[in-house]
Amino acid sequence: MSEAWTWVAIGGVTLTTFITRAGLLLLGERLRLPVLVDQALAYAPACALAAIIVPDLVLADGAVSLDPSNFRLLAALVAAGVFVATRSFVATIAAGMAVFTALRLLA
């Protein structure tokens, strides 16, 4: 891809940021959403987060990997436990990365 087209593509990605994040907000409440959609919005962020996180942790080279050789998954499970116990972002990330790094260096 030429230099110029790469910049056009960068502009396109930037445009999607504005469209998706500000579009509905600019339309305001003139556009009424159905009640069902309104209720669905309460669950959407959690489902979106899960849909981003879980494949990232469970898949290794495109295949499901649920055994102990999946260090990322093990580290995330430990991190989740630490979060439930401490409610601390920093402790969660530090614990997860420590487990991952230790497994990686020992393996």
Summarize as ranges the residues that interact with another protein (CB under 8 A): 1, 5-29, 33, 36-37, 39-59, 62, 64, 72, 75-76, 79-80, 83-84, 88-90, 92-93, 96-97, 100-101, 104
Shortest separation between residue 84's beta carbon and another protein, angstroms: 6
CB 88 within 8 A of CB 104: no
Pairwise CA distance, residues 107 & 99, whole Å: 12
Shortest separation between residue 36's beta carbon and another protein, angstroms: 7
3-state secondary structure of 64: strand
